[in-house]
A and B are shown apart, each in its own frame.
Chain A
Amino acid sequence: MSIEYRFIEPLDVLFLRGNKLFGGPGSYGECLVPPWPSVAAGAIRSRMLVDDGVDLSEFSRGHIEHPALGTPGNPGVFILAGFYLAKKETNGKVNLLQQAPSDLTFTSDNTGTLSVNGLYPQVVNLPSSYPLGHLPVLAQGRQRKKPESGYWLTRAGWSAYLQGQTPTADQLVHSSALWSTDSRVGIGMNAATRSVDQGKLFTAQALSLKTGVGFVAAVQGAQPPTQGLLRFGGDGRGAVIMNAGMDLPEPDYQAISQAGRCRLVLTTPGLFPEGWTLPGTGADSRITLPGGITAKLVSAAVQGAEILSGWDLAGKNGRGQPKTAQRVAPTGSVYWLDNVKATPEALRKLAENGLWNEPCEDPVRRAEGFNRCAIAAWSAAAPEHD
């Protein structure tokens, strides 16, 4: 099924809150960047419902089934197949920006020159707490340097990464060039009277994206709006939605299939039954992925759990309630797979459809855009560098 790409450009600061409860007196709402893909899925779906004249309250209670969106508890064919930070250039072309995968490290020397280095799994015969057979090793000079964070890959950098190359410094953008945050003081409202609740001051972090910076949403199974406005994130701040002619970089699936080894990179958070490890992983690290792909998981770089929750509109008889909170592996987590048995087409399908089986284990989260991944070549050895 074809994928429709849309660019979402904010018209205002955004409130992209994480999982923390928020709004109580003295509370502080921190911003989550990038936001969950479900923020984009929710914004686009709401707009589609409005465009189709659907009563939102009735829909949220599950009383109306939309042809593409289904119901909140039983989604239709609409799937958010990708969600990226992106920048619209002055010529109107939209370039995606990919959060740096966990196997890349960034360091600067005394002159401020940035270096990008990759982790390379190795069998290391020294005892350690590492749970898998190959240790992701970073080769550095005699003096170890403190890694820096906040870098994003440009399209060229992402393309190089997928091909198994280490992106260069000019293929990176630092987050400070993409957005800034500031604090906004708000006051709590009484839900019943819609009046101000005395003394309920709270502070929230607002995200201010730089000019031209926005998001790209990839939608599968439905036609999202091509123009107009969206209510995006907390407080329903305004954003423009528009067509985005995209051409996503791809790895050489044929070469990967022949090499029998690859890296699997999460491009949205991964919600897996066993926590950090990929679905279908057995006790011996043998793994069966959707599409009948088999492999052995030999190494991984996963920077701890994030908590995924949200608001269940249909829950509690349509009155809404918090969704069950679960742990997810963060975007950018990298899994090294060896002894991969897969056709190039199976690998491509995995990247297109994400880490979901059929029938789907969790159609709601799939529709919201979770468990999306990319396949990247795994270079045989660390390049020599100083």
Chain B
Amino acid sequence: MANNQLWQTKLHARLHDPIEKALVLLRDPAGHEGGNSQVLWRLAGYDELSKENLDNDNADVIHAVAFTKGIKRDTYRLVQRADWWAAAADRPQLPLDEVPATSKAGEIKTLAVQSWAQVRWTKSKDGTNNTVLVHPLTGEKLELSGGLSETDISDIKQRAFDHLSQLLIRQDGTTDYKKTTLAMWRFGSDVNEDSDNGKLGELWNLLPADTRIPDHSIWDHLDLTSAFAGAFADDPEGDAALLSLSIGPVQPFIAAARTTSDLWAGSHLLSRLSWEAMRTVCEQLGPDAILFPRLRGIPQVDLWLRDEMGLPEELFTKCEWQRGSTDSNPLFSAALPNRFVALVPASKARAIAEQAEKNVRKWLQTLGDDVITLLLTTAGYSGEQENITTPRMQMKEQLQGFPEVHWAAVPFSLIRRGDGKNQRDLDTSQLSTAMRPFFSGQGEPGFLSSSAWTILQKELALTDTHGKKTTFFTPNPGVLYPAVFDLAERVMAAAKTSRTFAQTKQEGWRCSLTGEHEWLTTDPAQLHWNQNYRQQQGTLWTMIAREKPSWAKKGEHLSALPAIKRVWPTLFKEEAGRALSGKEPGETKHMDRFVVSTHTMALAHQMDQWLERGGLTADGFAERADEPDVIRVALPRRLMRQHKANQQALRDASLLPSLLDKAAQEEVEEQEAKRLLDAVRRTLCQGATETAKDIKLETYYSLIMMDGDHMGAILSGDPNTDTTITYEQSFHPKVQTGFSERVANQPELAAYGSQNRAITPNRHLAISGALNDFSQTVVRHVVEEEHLGRVIYSGGDDVLAMLPIADVLSTMQRLRHAYSGAAPQDEPVDWGQVRSKDQLVCKSGYAWLNGRLMRMMGKHASASCGAVIAHHQAPLSAVMHELRAAENRAKNEGDRDAFSITLVKRSGGALYLTENWGEPIRLLQDLRDFLASDGVSRRAVYHTLAWLNEHELPADAFETDMAHRLLEYQLTRQSSGDTNRQAPGLARRLIEHINTGSADEGLLTLEELTQKRVNKLRNFLSVAEFLARETRTGGNQQ
């Protein structure tokens, strides 16, 4: 089939259901004679198509304009099949009851959806608000405050037409099918109206495909239909396959980092490599062919649509990435995971996967060549580069085989259809045979033995105790999406068991960062020079270190991948600048990239408080700040925004860390170093109370690493994760009520309703969409707008961020709440009020921010977080090692849904604290605040630690209230004033928390139990005391 035919088919698929269909279905006379008739029309098989070209559905004007000559019969059939499969894959079925009807032949019995299974998505006359969405991972109901009125509904059709007609791209009176399909995919769900769009605005992108099962949107349904239709159209046999592909290795690639900039570059580059692999699929089949991750709205994909697919520029003018000339621009976010799942033509699955591998490696080779050119140019080899072949050969050789690409594909043709015309009468024997080796146990493997499939696999005709007949549709292959997906995942996991590699020989001294490959050199003989000799004689890298210190520190000599990571920020900044520039060729918009140093982050809280007091400098600051080697450094975004009215103070603030860095340099004499430190310290004391003027400068900062729990299990619909809902839970409340009454006499139906829903493509789209919004929008807001932190990377469920110590606890807890879209403080908020709020609201599994309603992961999905508090000079690789260990402890020791803090002391030693969210983190915050309060001495902790050990305490100290009384005494004795009254309550909560043990404590002796409690309380107090100490350095200056 010609390529244009592919895009015609996809466009027809995107337009086959009007967006407003579900809303107007029961009330619009222009539709298929009401909801029932369409169902009956299909059920009866009234789809005989006699003509070659079919008339347009005149009810849909957009469709008629796009396809002026009508629809080819073959295209119609493909789309019809795709629609059936998509609907079957995504929606639970509702029973059809036998009802009397009148025909020309007289009274007949026919099947119909009953009135309880019909939902008008408005506020009903009795005041019931039916404008309800169901969260696909929790079943929670989100009721649109006030509901939609009949007027709102009637307005939707016009709005849909106005909006979509702007997306029709025609040239010389002919529809450009490819561009129009891409524009409809990208912007159909994006309301682009200047004026307020009434109550529908925030719901537009969540409009349900079916008001009876409002857990997935019409956009998701159209995407899936288009994906199936495209795969069918591009395959000679009309067969689709599910392709799973991943690139890697992820961890070692990102972990090879010496600076926070390296960490950003590694994750951003990996995200870009993922895109280059996905692009192969997008270019051949469109971005809707990728079911996971959801690509809509990803800035890199937008650039591809605009610059390479040729969509009109004006469509993108309101995109967030068009605004902002700094690295807070979303283009700088690592947005894509290292894997994808796509629907592809079955016969082309291998070719597409292999082409994706080829393309991503070719893209990296080209980038590598550009990096060499830039390095040589920067080092001063401008005119003689063609003679310098060694680094280019090294680059090419070192990049061979990178990234690793693993993939597997499973064709839907494993499911045979006895009734090809109606896609029914399924034979799963081939699928079962293919699945068998991957499953343990007897009987049918996997989904084929599930209760859901047992009920759905054949036409179900039930008669209740009153003789009433009920029927389910017989399933089509779309229903077996869970089995095909599961098999593809298992085959890919098996394919990953061999990570093949070729042999290489790397001579001499090797890369400073990885130790694995030769460093890039202009002369292979230099590889045998030791560090000192290299410095004496000069190399490519000594010149780079001199000319461009951000690419290489003094002494660093880098191999291919680390070199690319170092140069990538510069190259990408230029790329982003070109993308955001005007239309003139060669024009580039200047982009600023701010790397906030660990040193700056350590000082951020103190600087914030100083700026709050006016930001005045001390004597001696100005003259030292004017020295040429004192340069401005990047500051946290919130600091810049909060104090933008005081530009002079911000400028001074940006010099403070640089003065401290200068003081630490070997070349600076000791006396001058002391004067520099003193100037900074006295400046930060300006405006502080007398008692707070003897402050120490904060030298510790924190890194946090958060990760969603059981993500693989959630994607695969594991019921143990509590993120699967039953068929009945996915129904609209009205349908739920009707269904419960209807199944009272039919246990088979009741059993169906209580089954967990099988995984669906739209479950994956919903998860991917939620993670996109969380990582791309919410995380940055929490870390950089609500707190003084800096996001290093945030993609999917992974977050890595840097924070000042004062913000670490509140940021972690806030991110955890946002991940689920459930913050206790937001529960009382009415959705009707959120529009007036300019802050993040997290409720019922959704997050509201800046006029957008975003689905989050829901209350049952949890996340764990590791945090490390370390000196700003501690080696980043060591800190990252501790951070990963802390995250692991949160997952394992904390049994997930937990956090773990590691406090690495500069003087040696470390403290570890692993706790669950909720009361423990509140208690830690309260204890920290208590200890940091005026009138409280931290001796309360020191004195407690003196007796808090198993030698001083009797074994039953925690059983007899002794430990509680002693702790209360110490906290009370070392506090005064208002805080004194908090001491008894804190002591009680601490002991209650310490006494709340894990299940295995029953196996311990009393002595062992006491020792465990002693250790836990010591850790808790010590960490709180340390946090109070560091916070307090700023806290007492007010």
Contacts and interface: CB of A to CB of B under 8 A. Distances in A.
Contacts of A348: none
Contacts of B406: 129
Nearest to B530: A321
The secondary structure that dominates the B interface is mixed
Contacts of B713: 143-144, 146
Contacts of B1016: none
Contacts of B439: 139-142
Contacts of A198: 666
B440 A307 contact: no
Contact of B408 (A129, A321, A384): A129
Contact of B875 (A26, A144, A309): A26
Contacts of A307: 506, 515-516
Interface string B761-795: 00000000000000000000000000000000000
A322 interface: yes
Given A135-B491, A275-B500, A304-B249, A126 B434 contact: yes
Contacts of A303: 497, 499
A227 B408 CA distance: 55
B502 A138 contact: no
A199 interface: yes
Interface string A196-239: 00110111010000000000000000000000000000000000
Give the interface size class of chain B.
Answer: 35 or more
Contacts of A20: 514-515
B493 A138 contact: yes
A128 B357 CA distance: 13
Given A119-B497, A275-B500, A324-B505, A18 B440 contact: no
Contacts of A300: 497-498
B961 interface: no
A309 B515 CA distance: 9
A302 B500 contact: yes
A303 B873 CA distance: 34
A275 B434 contact: no
Given A129-B406, A144-B712, A185 B908 contact: yes
B437 interface: yes
A253 B934 CA distance: 77
Interface string A118-132: 011010111111111
A302 B499 contact: yes
Contacts of A120: 437
B528 A127 contact: no
A325 B515 CA distance: 9
B509 A21 contact: yes
A6 B1025 CA distance: 50
A274 B440 contact: no
Contact of B437 (A137, A142, A301): A137
A107 B365 CA distance: 39
A28 B881 contact: yes
B446 interface: yes
> Which of B441, B497, B508 gathers the greatest number of chain A CB atoms within 10 Å?
B497
Contacts of B671: none
A124 B514 contact: no
Nearest to B351: A127
A120 B438 CA distance: 10
B514 A385 contact: no
Given A275-B503, A316-B528, A21 B515 contact: yes
Interface string A304-324: 110101000000100001101
B258 interface: yes
A125 B433 CA distance: 10
A13 B799 CA distance: 34
A326 interface: yes
A119 B718 CA distance: 23
B930 to A, nearest CB: 31
A384 to B, nearest CB: 7
B609 to A, nearest CB: 30
B44 interface: no
B416 interface: no
B1008 interface: no
B405 A129 contact: yes
Interface in A117-174: 117, 119-120, 122, 124-132, 135-144, 146
Nearest to A329: B501
B536 interface: no
Contact of A325 (B449, B506, B528): B506
B47 interface: no
B877 A28 contact: yes
A28 B718 contact: no
A30 B879 CA distance: 12
A245 to B, nearest CB: 37
B637 interface: no
A146 B350 contact: no
A131 B494 contact: no
A316 B504 CA distance: 22
B266 to A, nearest CB: 16
A54 B516 CA distance: 34
A106 interface: no
B407 interface: yes
B420 interface: no
A132 B716 CA distance: 28
Given A20-B514, A137-B494, A142 B450 contact: yes
Nearest to A305: B501
A386 interface: yes
Given A24-B555, A110-B720, A130-B495, A327 B528 contact: no
A355 to B, nearest CB: 14
A386 B441 contact: yes
A272 interface: yes
A15 interface: no
B410 interface: yes
Nearest to A144: B716
> Which of A130, A199, A201 gathers the greatest number of chain B CB atoms within 10 Å?
A130
A216 B350 CA distance: 47
Interface in B341-364: 349-350, 353, 357
B510 interface: yes
B466 to A, nearest CB: 37
Contact of B410 (A110, A126, A130, A183): A126
A359 B981 CA distance: 84
B919 interface: no
A357 interface: no
Given A131-B500, A324-B506, A126 B440 contact: no
A180 to B, nearest CB: 11
Given A302-B500, A307-B516, A324-B505, A144 B407 contact: no
Contacts of B511: 21
B878 interface: yes
Contacts of B210: none
B319 interface: no
> Which of B258, B490, B501, B517 gathers the greatest number of chain A CB atoms within 10 Å?
B501
B506 A26 contact: no
A98 interface: no
Interface string B419-462: 00000000000000010011111100011011000000000000
A322 B495 contact: no
A146 B503 contact: no
A7 interface: no
B492 interface: yes
10 contacts: A124-B434, A126-B487, A127-B409, A135-B495, A140-B439, A140-B440, A183-B904, A203-B875, A307-B516, A325-B507
Given A139-B438, A185-B908, 18 more contacts: A28-B877, A30-B877, A122-B437, A127-B349, A127-B350, A127-B408, A129-B407, A130-B495, A131-B500, A135-B494, A135-B495, A137-B437, A276-B502, A300-B498, A307-B506, A316-B528, A325-B510, A386-B441
The 3 closest A-B pairs by CB, nearest first: A20-B515, A304-B499, A325-B506
Interface of A: 18-22, 24, 26-28, 30, 102, 110, 117, 119-120, 122, 124-132, 135-144, 146, 183, 185, 198-199, 201-203, 205, 272-277, 300-305, 307, 309, 316, 321-322, 324-327, 382, 384-386
